[in-house]
A and B are shown apart, each in its own frame.
Chain A
Amino acid sequence: MTAYILRRLVLLLPVLLIVGVVVFILVHLTPGDPAAVMLGPEASNEQVQQLRDQLGLNDPIYVQFIDWVGGAIHLDFGNSIFLNMPVTTALWQRAQPTGLLTLYALIVSLLIGVPSGIFAAVRRNSLLDRGLMALSVSGAAMPSFYLAILLILLFAVTLHWLPSGGYVSITDNPVQHFKRMLMPAFSLGFANAALLARLIRSSMLDVLREDYIRTAYSKGLAQRRVITLHALRNALIPAITVVGSSLGALLGGAVITETVFTLPGMGQLVVQSVLRRDFPVIQGAVMVIAAIYVLANLLVDVLYIYIDPRVRYGNK
């Protein structure tokens, strides 16, 4: 088991190297000059060249690449051109909003998705089932930014219950923090909840047809016990894969949610950095996101072992 995890972690290195090379090339092939963006539209050529020299942008591309790889090995992604701070600091500042947003969205999707899936399966073909599934189809079909705008119009513009956007750190003011994260978490988590509900419903239906469920009923167990103790655990296995891979989808969706709700997260940082041509930040952020993705997949694989004892990895 430990050997398996270690092997997977070692495999992370070539993945990151490939991602790094590809991103570096893409970023440097894209036209656009960070120095010109920084100095504004009316800066003279002379000024721009001066700043390019200062930033090392006039060095040959292979020199820039070697410098960058040399730093990245020590987890030093260089300095942000635009923000005038180390890339790692910039990423770390943005990690909290994105991390918490993804976490809350995941919680929202589990809180809504799992019970709806179970209820729909247990009350199969009832009005409740059809209602929940209709909601889930429309939830999965609706783009999260559209839901976000509807939520803002209702709760911020019309009712004035919640602020329309912005971020307050959880340590600064927990109440404000949750007020500001409620709509983003819901709009991001809802589509995922819908997906999860449909999945749990169908795998639950499969499990409920199994013999051991009938046995459980026949030995006189209450329905609640049968569902939670016997059926759910087995029905959750396919759901775990989806939750794991949806972590990636949530991180990706966070880009849009962060833009609509003005949350200063990693997604916003990447988008803004592309517009500003802030090369070091784009490179650093993509590396970190790639690493998170790979690690999340590893986590899911490990979780399998705990939920389904039949699963074994490694050399026997």
Chain B
Amino acid sequence: MIRFLLKGILRDRGRSLFPLLVVTAGVFLTVAFYGYILGMMNNMIRSNANLRHGHVKVMTRAYAQDIAQVPNELALTGVAALSDELRTSYPDLDWVARIPFGGLLDVPDDEGETRIQAPVAGLAVDLRTSGGPEPGLLGLAKILVRGRMPRVPGELLMSDELARKLGLDIGGKATLITTTMAGSLAMANFTVAGTIRFGIRAMDRTGLIADLADLRRALDMDDAAGEVLGLFKDGIYRSDRAAAVLRSFEGRYAGRQGEFLPAMQTLAEQPGMDIIIGRMRYATSAIVFIFLLAMSLVMWNAGLVGTLRRYGEFGLRLAIGEAKGHVYRTMLAESLLIGVLGSTAGTVLGLSLSWYLQVHGIDVSSIMKNITFLMDTVLHSKITPLSFVIGFIPGLLASLIGTAIAGRTIYKRQTARLFKELES
């Protein structure tokens, strides 16, 4: 019977192709959309991780308690040895040292007197080590508006908005006033090598990116850093893996006292990110549910229409003596087969696209040339175990339910009137 129905579906394309295409397309879109939504969420997490949080972050216990204040006087020391240890113990992560800092930028006039001052919030990263990961992690080349990357000591990148506000051009000089690791006043001269657009309001008002070595010298932080970030090499945040790294790392220092011992936090534990990730998951679930509902309605409708289109065929089959129950059951079986075939095809196609986007991504930077802010211009997807069933089950059930509802009309047909209906 199934073989007979399958042959009918494959050979009589007039009756099966449309429902099959609808189910395939619906399931494909569902799987691909789900993967893309997860990928987009991952992109947002990736941007936050690369810029500020890492997938895991190492700092001192005291620093972790006051992290919102960026207390560099509580920074990590012996960072070179710590980084080596982290690279050896957790080779699947890249480890980078960073110094977030705040202060005042003082721009001199021709006489060297203060012309204008503005509060700044900056990030010191390793910009000058050849082949280092930082420029790529921060996507600095993409967000450069004017000038170039820093090449020599004393050069920095500044938010374009801030540079314009301060009247600073490329090559302009300013003095950063901040505090050293010991809490003393620190003053250091910098030259603007380039301007950038972060695309984040607060950072565009006050943001600076300076070289780590320059800030270490200015802040008296030799071999010290506020934070050491760990980022999984494929750029994807995995909460279970991050939690495993955290457990392993904290195990080394368990039972030891000292506020300057290293402490680790995962991305999801860091202030602000816990809320963002929770809200993003909630929003993602809501979006996926609404999309799934819409696609189910489409597939259900396809089942309904497909059955109604075959009104005449069922009439003929009833007229030549086929039992109503048999017609109904074969319809359901056909629908089930179409659901299985369409859902399988849709899931395979959807997963294929998601896999391609997960591994390679699609670079849309060419159509976003004028957008110079901190945003990943490579679209990515993400495949999870749920990706395998999220389209398949609705694809199967929606068309089956649609057929089952539409098929009830078979039982309302009156045999005595069938020939009259067929004549018309």
A binds B: no
- Interface residues in chain A, defined as those with a beta carbon under 8 Å from any beta carbon in chain B: none
